[in-house]
Structure 1
Amino acid sequence: MKVIGLMSGTSMDGLDCCYVDIVINEEYKMNYEIIDFKTIDFDFKTYNLIKSTIGSFDKEKIKFCDNKLGTVFLEFVKKFIKGREFDLISMHGQTIRHKSKEESIQIGSPYKLYNFFKKPIIYNFRKKDIILGGNGAPLVPFLDWLLFKDLKKRIITLNIGGISNVTLIPEESKRENVLGFDTGPGMCLIDRFVNLVWYKNFDNDGYFAKKGKINFNILNYLMEDEYVNLNYPKSISTEYYNIDFIKNIIDLFPDVNKFDLLRTFVRFTAFSIYENINFFIKDNNDYSLILSGGGAKNLVLISDLKYFFGKNISTLKEFINIDEDIKEGLLMSVMGYCRYNKLNNNMPSVTGANKYDIYGDIYE
């Protein structure tokens, strides 16, 4: 089945489009061929609209952004697919609010995609998890399990988007023993601080962070963060690590220069990942740590991760020859395929849901 997976993640920088031919049998043996992939960047106006809608309860604003993103997604998919045949589209939508066990709201109207292509649109993957008592996130451990379960090796995956999340695939690969959770910030604090101070969307190659020094007073304060120290199952969104979070740190430490503060946010991101893996995933000395997501390209962050974890780090591309940027688009393709073919696509051991079930609504 040829599926288009669409992911607009917590970094809010663009739409990942993954065109993949997938077969998953009832024993969850997956065969796939990635036919094409592209990330199409949002323009400045769309980015700012999304940013202004994050955390909002304004119904008119949300409705406007929902319709706007529906139009943007349609134009992006038309540009990406170029008339090629496919069977369905699986879209995550843009998360604007997420609170564990309470709500997870994604927008980006599926109607416009369906109205043009007249193919099933699979969407709304998180709501049912919350109904079943789960956190609504993370979703990526399901893909990690499919990708790595047959290797019979102890695998820890680390996906660094706006938020960082980890998955532990045990050596025996039993689905019920897979662990996964959000560790805390990924690129959200780094990107938001860079945007606040230098009006850039991200710190290219760590250019600004390299000029700073770690302030350990701030680092120690940040490491007391309530979420970082929360037990799993747990999930968080960029609403928590927002611009007010950053401004609070600036107010508490007014004499620290901007380069040192950015450098400290980078170290906090790496340290919070390390502490979560070290504390919550026991006996973690014998494993392969596999990186994916946009954060895998931040040289200063990777240097910090190597400082904590040593040399047993590889990228997704190095390990199984999948580009790091493709992973979340592939995830959405897999989630949509399973929904359409009535295969359970959740991970109760990860989110805390009370049973295996099939997630996603179908617009057709």
Structure 2
Amino acid sequence: MPTARFDAAVTGVGMVTCAGIGVPASWARIRDARGTAAGPVPALDGTPADFGCAVPGFDPAAAVGRRRAWRLDRCNQFAIAAAAEAVADAGLDPAAWDGARVGVVLGNGIGGAATWEKQHDTLRDEGPHKVSPLLIPMLSINMSAGYVAMEYRARGPNFVTATACASGTTAIGMARELLRAGHCDIVLTGGTEAPLVPSIVSGFHQMGALSKGRTATASRPFDADRDGFVPAEGAAVLVLEHPDHAAARGARVRGLVSGYGASADAHHATAPDPQGAGAELAVRAALSDAGITGADVTHVNAHGTSTPLNDVSEARLIRRVIGAHPAVTSTKGVVGHALGAAGAIEAVATVLTIEHGHVPPTANLESLDPEIDLDVVAKAGRDLPVEVAVSNSFGFGGQNAVLVFSRA
């Protein structure tokens, strides 16, 4: 049943990505499309796929404190670091807010994979009595939201969405629903992932999902020569506020989340519906939720994974439902594919695109696949006033989530 349009205010953003730690560093590299931040990953040595997009120079002690760093899996460290930047960017003082009105909704696809592997090795080599008592809180998928809530005394609704590579987008959509329903005044939302461990990356390799390239141009969304995605780690967090709450405190609003849609392909465990029929439901639902049509959309931040099947399926979907007119880009050409965090990273990039009036190029796109009949921004960014943008996320299991962002 249709409801009145609701614009959740984005008042703060934070990022930890392979392009840089913090929003300024990440955005600068995404904006300039200076190649994928990919390279050999020491933790993957000895595997057939030892290449990925790792966060450079991340210092857990500086991010979360030396005494706590060893108690937290890397994915939770990223979440806390990104949340800290977002809360500061929003100009909020957690010591002063009503924690019962502050929620946390984060997306995560895999949980504490590095912790799981390390403790499995301990079990095998040293026996069960040597397994860490911190194993469960370090690996459990819900703990990224739990730890962020502990950090900021956020006592409102708290949960993690796990919709594979759509997880971060699903989280933002559900955070907006908490605001619209009046359950919260503020929600810290986004996604985090630290999947660069041998078992996870080897699994993707065995299914043939990864690029065989070992260069900075391996992730090449929409390119005729693309052959798979490059795995990445990272996190992004947005502070969403009820518009009345943001207005009452005079907050700077960086953008608006104006629509959300979700659906399932009900088609295949890993392959997208070739025509994007399931994903179309999500796009149409998001547009309807925002009270707009495809003609109103200026920009699409595509899921654009650099896989042969996904890129063509998504391109057909965009052309059919939104049209050929929007400027389309995929940030995965720079930041790789951070799985459950990907949608959150792309959400922040979309907010910044609207705010700065600049659509980043799709890095490493040299020859557009002739099956992709879209205006894909490549080689150089494009200065463009963007009033409305769509951000797509699609995941294994056929799970689809789409957000509509608009200018404040």
Fold-level similarity (TM above 0.5): no
Give the structure-2-normalised TM-score: 0.29
Relative to its length, the structure with more helix (as a share) is 1
Give the structure-1-normalised TM-score: 0.31
